[in-house]
Amino acid sequence: MMTPIDAQLDLVIERELTVPVSLVWRGLTEPDLLKQWFCPKPWGVSDCRIDLRPGGEFYTVMHDPEGNQYPSTACFLEIEKEKHLVWTSVLVTNYRPATPAKDTDKECSHLAMTAIIDLEPTSSGTRYKAHVMHNTHEQRKAHEAMGFHEGWGTTITQLEELLEQKQI
């Protein structure tokens, strides 16, 4: 299923990874692995819960180098093992509406977004595509200005390096 890309509202990043789809899927869906790559270093993830089902919780606590913590709860919408993963920040577990963010919220917690990750096997590994949808052009621009391409690009590289190194 392909979701149309709206250039005014969406951000997209695509990469060819040198590891098989099965490993990329594990990196995306196993909390112990996700905690090792999900934010650009020197940031990190100190806690992660993944209830991998439609309506299931996707919870992370990111922390900056000073130790400040940034919890985030999202809701999985669609899951097709080793192919397609969708979650949104506007809902929490069991499709409950998320508490509206305040302008004073830190980092990306004020962004309303839905992330669509598509994986496809290639002869040398995996084609990875992240399509991140926003509800307004201002939200998209804010996410891009925060370093979307650099940040998500860095984390994808971290994921690939982790999976190459571990060969789990």
Model pTM score: 0.92
Tell whether 4 is covered by a domain. Answer: no
Q: CA torsion 33→116→150→153, rounded to 10°?
A: 50
Which residue range is the domain that position 15 belongs to?
Answer: 10-166
Tell whether 14 is covered by a domain. Answer: yes
Quote the pLDDT of residue 38: 97
CA distances from 64 to 69, 105, 107, 160 (A): 7, 15, 10, 22
Q: Considering only CA atoms, which of 131, 36, 142 is closest in space to residue 88?
A: 131
Quote the pLDDT of residue 90: 94
CATH number, position 79 = 3.30.530.20
Tell whether 89 is covered by a domain. Answer: yes
Please give the average pLDDT of every successive group of 10 residues along the chain, which has 168 residues. Answer: 88 97 97 97 97 98 94 96 97 92 60 95 97 94 93 96 83
Quote the pLDDT of residue 168: 57
Report d(CA 61, CA 45) in Å as an integer: 6
Tell whether 1 is covered by a domain. Answer: no
Q: How many domains does the chain have?
A: 1
Tell whether 127 is covered by a domain. Answer: yes
Quote the pLDDT of residue 2: 74
Tell whether 54 is covered by a domain. Answer: yes
Tell whether 128 is covered by a domain. Answer: yes
Tell whether 5 is covered by a domain. Answer: no
Quote the pLDDT of residue 58: 97
